[in-house]
Chains A and B, each alone.
Chain A
Amino acid sequence: MNRFIGFVKKEFHHIFRDYRTMLILFGMPIAQILIFGYVVANEIKDVNIGILDKSKDNVTQEITNKITSSGFFILSDNINSDNEIEEAFKKGVVRQVIVFEPNFAQKLKREGVVNVQIIADASDANTANMVSNYTKAIINNYVQTNLNSRGLPYKIIPEVRMLYNEELKGVYMFVPGTMALILMLVSAMMTSISIAREKEMGTMEILLVSPLKPLPIVVGKVIPYMALSFINAILIIALSYFVFGMPINGSLIFLLLETLLFIFMALSLGILISTVSNSQMEAMFISMFALLLPTMLLSGFIFPIENMPVVLQWLCNLMPAKYFIIIIKNIMIKGSSVLIVWKETLVIAGMTVFFLAMSVKKFKVRLE
């Protein structure tokens, strides 16, 4: 036991003495959360919109005025037909188009209910969501102040349509995504690099020749990073909760347990990488290309999986981060319990067992 504690102590020395490691460990998560948070969750202002008014009556005119005078929007394009909508989006001149159906005021008076269509460019999902919400709020406000207050029981129902990303997978995406990314990076990359460093420096030779068995070496390497990754995860959750108001609707304990499982999976993956790489450089490259990029691109973090070609969707199923993101979103946003996410949890657990078994099989007590 003494041996083991000595080993763990040594690992902490390595980590705390290397300011670059410290920077990656603690600087990066904070920076990333803040950057993603502020860039994505920025308030909207002067967003370019287009309006297709097929009715051109006094009600549509009033609503249009209300929208353009709100300060959030700039009317940049008057759209004259349905065909022009798509074109305007493609040219990028507008982020949102509002469509009033023909005979708007007439219909409102006759039927009491009328629809207004809001089409948003959801390739930037977060902005699209906010822009449409603002628009809805303005229309509702109009209904209340201009119609209902005069005792008219009319309704205008905004029909929101998200172009390019119908289901709007992007809201609150940055927190689970960043968490997956950072835990992957810290756990897998850092562990694999630190084991590879021992090989490169030749100290692994002495460790192997010592009576220390492979298991304590591996576990000793893993524990410090496990602890630090966990602190990191808590940091990220706290930041997103207190700074960006991300809800935690489910059980916090359950959330942390799932996080711990994911960390454990990433660490086993890191060990597996280190068994096949002989230098820090190699470990770094493998981690970068095998973990980081796929985690960013194929986990649903940045690009919605539903819109990908089928082959890529299959690949996505291999990404542990995909399942983690689903779990985290479910717990934090929907407040789901284990009953909902047990499948995903099982997948991550299965992956962990697989990676661990592979690393134990591949870990050499010799140099060849």
Chain B
Amino acid sequence: MQNITVEVNNLKKSYDKVEAVKGVSFSVSKGELFGLIGPDGAGKTSIFRILTTLMFPSEGSARLLGLDVVNDFKEIRNNIGYMPQRFSLYQDLSVEENLTFFATIFGTTIRENYNLIKDIYVQIEPFKNRLAGKLSGGMKQKLALSCALIHSPNILILDEPTTGVDAVSRKEFWEMLIRLKEKGITILVSTPYMDEANMCDRVALIQNGEIMSIDTPDKIIGNFGSKLWAVKSRNIYQLIKDLRSLDFIETVFPFGEYLHVTSKTGSIDIEKLQSILIEKNHTDIHIQEIRANIEDCFMALMK
């Protein structure tokens, strides 16, 4: 791959006896939007803290823009924008004061880089005299992003920027990231929401400190391997029990209103299954073959 901006090689991190990151490798190209997708405790924050030079790796190495995270930490710090979990803002400073403060400590001014943050900042500018602590989750998120961008970094590292934010703000936030990406900024973002994987160019699915798969979302889904059916009926709890009792069924996972089902033989005769379920007193039965999503893939990889 050309223009590699971030390169991580067999990275490991232990706290006391717990191994939080167990040998992770990946690389991110310039201008790519790369997602680290996994549940809480998967090791996402540890990886990002190593990349932002806030922690030493226990083993392995990582380079950003060709700079080593251990030896060249000062140069790296000048070139990255970092948004830690829970939007670290000064709650008792106003929106404008927060932004001005972060601009000054990076040796710049709001005006100098206004172009870059304009799209985002105009949405919160009407509230610029409000204290950051009094903002809604979505507005805090926008302010934190503006603060992370104020010094025009080459790489943006965002740790769970959409956690605790409502659906509207989440969608807007991803739209902002895609616009930033188009300006050539390399973006690394972590999230526990599987559905957000589709917004990334490439994703790494991470669980228990290990990357299970790295690829474009489409290819990951393409590699799902087996066919998948969505099944539902009136009584979903009974349906789970009944499906699991059938010997040709491999997995049954609740998925919203539906159950996602795979078969040991790789195929399901829809009509036959329907009649079995009718026999077991199920009503309003729907069965259809579907395409897997990232969450299906994640679960398949977990085993």
Contact = CB atoms under 8 A, between A and B. Distances in A.
Given A6-B100, A10-B101, A368-B55, A203 B82 contact: no
A45 interface: no
A201 B90 contact: yes
A368 B14 CA distance: 12
Contact of B89 (A203, A365, A366): A203
In this complex, which of A10, A206, A210 has the most chain B Cβ atoms within 10 angstroms of its Cβ?
A206
Contacts of A56: none
Contacts of B270: none
B227 interface: no
Nearest to A213: B74
Interface of A, helix, strand, loop or mixed by DSSP: helix
B91 interface: yes
B88 A210 contact: no
A6 B105 contact: yes
B230 to A, nearest CB: 41
Given A13-B93, A366-B56, A206 B101 contact: no
B97 interface: yes
B105 A13 contact: no
A209 B93 contact: no
A3 interface: yes
B102 A368 contact: no
A367 interface: yes
B90 A10 contact: yes
B77 interface: yes
Contacts of A142: none
B52 A209 contact: yes
A2 to B, nearest CB: 6
Contacts of A17: 92
Interface in A168-222: 201-203, 205-212
Contact of B56 (A6, A9, A368): A368
A89 interface: no
A208 B73 CA distance: 11
A211 B148 CA distance: 13
Contacts of A5: 104
Contact of A207 (B74, B85, B97, B105): B105
B92 A18 contact: yes
Contacts of A203: 88-90
Given A3-B107, A367-B55, A206 B74 contact: no
B247 to A, nearest CB: 52
A206 B102 contact: yes
Nearest to A202: B88
B190 interface: no
B92 A14 contact: yes
Contacts of B55: 366-368
A365 B106 contact: no
Interface string A330-368: 000000000000000000000000000000000001111
B49 interface: yes
A209 B104 contact: no
Given A212-B105, A368-B56, A206 B97 contact: no
B56 to A, nearest CB: 7
In this complex, which of B55, B102, B105 has the most chain A Cβ atoms within 10 angstroms of its Cβ?
B105
A202 B84 contact: yes
B80 interface: yes
A7 interface: yes
A211 B104 CA distance: 11
A19 to B, nearest CB: 11
A3 B105 contact: yes
A125 B68 CA distance: 66
B139 interface: no
B86 interface: yes
Interface in B188-221: none
A7 B54 contact: no
Interface in B37-87: 49, 52-56, 73-74, 77-78, 80, 82, 84-86
B54 A366 contact: yes
A57 to B, nearest CB: 76
B243 to A, nearest CB: 45
A210 B73 CA distance: 11
B252 to A, nearest CB: 40
Given A14-B90, A205-B84, A210-B77, A367 B54 contact: yes
Contacts of B73: 365
B147 interface: yes
A205 B88 contact: yes
A206 to B, nearest CB: 5
Interface of B: 49, 52-56, 73-74, 77-78, 80, 82, 84-86, 88-93, 97, 100-102, 104-107, 147-148
Given A9-B101, A212-B105, A368-B56, 11 more contacts: A3-B106, A6-B104, A7-B104, A10-B101, A18-B92, A201-B88, A203-B88, A203-B90, A211-B74, A211-B78, A367-B54
Interface of A: 2-3, 5-7, 9-10, 13-14, 17-18, 201-203, 205-212, 365-368
7 contacts: A2-B107, A9-B101, A202-B86, A211-B77, A366-B53, A366-B55, A368-B55
